[in-house]
A = this chain, B = another copy of it.
Amino acid sequence: MHGEKRDVAHKILLAAVKVFDKYGLRKTTMRDIAESAGMSKSSLYYYFKSKRDILSSVVKQESLTLTRKLHHAIQQDISPQQKLREYVVTRMHLLFELSVYYASLSEAYLEQYSFIEQEREAFTAFEIDAVSKILSEGVLKGIFRGRDILAAAKTIIIIMKALELRLVISKSMDELDSTVDTMLEILFHGLETR
C-alpha cells in the first residue's frame, strides 16, 4: 500500500541533506538525521548500514544532481558566451543549494570520508571537460581565441571556486550575479577575437 523501502530510504536522505545543510557534515549526528526524518535512530540502520553510508549516498545524489543540471544548462542552442554565462550562473546557484560541496572539512575528517574527495575530483574532471567544450565551440566559431583551451578552462574553474568561497562567507546571493557578470565581462573581452 504505502511507502516502499526505497521511498523511506529516499526520505531519510532528504532529511539528512536538510541537517547537513544546517550543521555541516561533522556536526550532524544520527540522532539529528532521525529527528529530521521523523523516526527513531535505530530505524535508520534498517535502511543504511552506517552514517558513512548515508553520507556517501547523499554525496553521490548531490553530485548526480549537480552534473545533470549543469549538463542540461549547456545543452541549449545558444552562443558560447551565453553558454559560459549559463554554466557559471547555474553552477553558482546549484552549489549554493547543495550542502555537501560547501562543507569545509578538516583533513582528518576528509580522510575518514574519502569518497567526498573522490567525488569532488570526479566533479572537477567533469567541469574541465564541460568548460573546455564550450571554449572549443567558441574557438571553432571564431568567437574565442584559440590558445591553450585546457589552461583557459582551468582558469575559469579556479575563478569560480574563488567565487564559491566568497559566497560561503557572505551567505548572500545579492551581489553574486553582478559579480559573475563583471567577471565574465572581463573574461569575454579577454577571450573574444578583438
Interface on A for B, CB 8 Å cutoff?
22-24, 27, 96, 171-174
Expressed in whole angstroms, the Cα–Cα distance for A23 and B24 within the complex equals: 7
| CB contact between A27 and one of B23, B96, B173 (< 8 Å): that residue | B23
Interchain CA distance A171-B172 in the complex, whole Å: 7
- Chain B residues with CB under 8 Å of A27's CB are 23, 27
Q: How far is the CB of A28 from chain B (nearest CB, A)?
A: 9
Docked CA distance A14–B34 (Å): 33
Interchain nearest-CB distance for A5 vs B (Å) = 29
**Across the interface, which residues of B come within 8 angstroms of A23, CB to CB?**
23-24, 27
Is the beta-carbon distance between A171 and B174 smaller than 8 angstroms?
A: no
A145→B96 CA distance, assembly (Å): 43
Question: A40–B22 Cα gap in the complex (Å)?
Answer: 27
Residues of B contacting A174 with CB < 8 Å?
173-174
CB closest residue in chain B, given A29 = B27
Jot down 13 A-B pairs with beta carbons below 8 A, ordered by A: A22-B24, A23-B23, A23-B24, A23-B27, A27-B27, A96-B171, A96-B172, A171-B171, A172-B172, A172-B173, A173-B173, A173-B174, A174-B174
**In the complex, which residue of chain B has the Cβ closest to the Cβ of A172?**
B173
**Cα distance A24–B23 in the bound complex, in angstroms:** 7
What separation, in Å, do the CA atoms of A158 and B96 have in the docked complex? 29
Q: How far is the CA of A24 from the CA of B29 in the complex (A)?
A: 14
Please give, as numbers and ranges, the residues of chain B lying within 8 Å of A22 by CB-CB distance.
24
A104 to chain B, nearest CB (A): 9
Closest partner residue, chain B, to A21 (CB atom)? B171
Chain B residues in 8 Å Cβ range of A24? 22-23
| Interchain nearest-CB distance for A169 vs B (Å) | 10
